[in-house]
Every structure is written in structure tokens, then in C-alpha cells.
Amino acid sequence: MMDEMRVHVGDEATFSKTVSESDVYLFAGLTGDLAPNHVNEEVMRHARWGRCMVHGALLVGFMSTASTMIAAPTITPDATETPVAAGYDRIRFIAPVFFGDTITVSYRVAEVDPVKRQAEADVRVTARGGELVAAAMGILRWVPNPK
């Protein structure tokens, strides 16, 4: 059982995507977050950045995609444990992301604790040629499967 985690310090996954206006509007509709920051171009034209910005929570969703890329290979039909996202600590939104920006999420395993059955990762989101726009510490936990 103890070797099923199959993740190691330094393991890394990256995910890149150009965030479209439709991504933001679909996310706004799903979550109900219709704040002018995200969906009202007229209001935002007069704000600091002069345009709508992507939801921070959507960036966290992209962090989750990279987390899945690390965890998925450890899931097998005969496994006695399943990796699950246990959360993100110290999430910071450092700079805005705009419609049309290509983001890249880097999810790098920083610590593996076989006793806690947990791995922690440094998560960084960049845009516009490498500008850091968000960061967090991701937590994966391996939970026992029913027998």
C-alpha cells in the first residue's frame, strides 16, 4: 500500500490554454459570478485595466487540471487508494488574466509524506510570456478504497 502514491519530489505537470471570452462567460453562468469585472466590458472600460478579466476561481480550476495530470497515472483498477485533491493553500492572484491570454499552470511536487498519505505541490500560473499571475500550494491526499 505505501508505494501506491507513486509521486516523487520534483514530478511536474504543465497545462496551457488560451482563455477565451466564451470560457469566462460559461464559467460565469455555471457559478453565478456575473460580477462586472468579468462580464461587463462597458463598466470595465473605465476601470484600471480597461477590460474584463478572468475569474480567479477559473484559474484554480486550471490548477486542478494540472493536479489531475499528476494524480491520474496513480489510479489503477486494483489500487487500494485513490488520490483526491484536498485543497489549495495560500492562493494568491498576483496579476489579472484577460480574454485571449494564454496561461500555463506548472504543478511541481514539493513534498511527499507517506505517513500522512499526502503530497504538496508548488503551483504557479503564468501568462503573457511568463508573468506570474497566480500561485498556490496544492494538496493531494491518497484515501483508502473500500475493500
Residues 63-109: tens digit of each pLDDT: 999 999 999 988 888 888 999 999 999 999 999 999 999 999 999 99
Rounded Cα gap, residues 55 and 44, in angstroms: 14
Q: What pairing do the DSSP bridges indicate for beta strands 81-93 and 12-18? A: unpaired
Residue 38 to residue 48: CA distance in whole angstroms: 13
1 located within any domain: no
Note down the domain range covering 20: 12-144
Answer yes or no: is 74 within a domain. Answer: yes
Distance CA 142, CA 140 (A): 7
Does residue 7 lie within any of the structural domains?
A: no
pLDDT of residue 51: 97
Residue that wins the pLDDT comparison between 78 and 2: 78
Question: What's 61's domain CATH number?
Answer: 3.10.129.10
In a domain, 115, yes or no: yes
Q: Region 21-47: what's the mean pLDDT?
A: 97
Residues in the chain: 147
Domain count, the chain: 1
Sheet of 118-127: strand order equals 12-18, 102-113, 118-127, 131-144, 81-93
Q: How far is CA 26 from CA 19, 29, 31, 58, 128, in A?
A: 11, 5, 9, 10, 23
Q: What is the pTM of this model?
A: 0.91
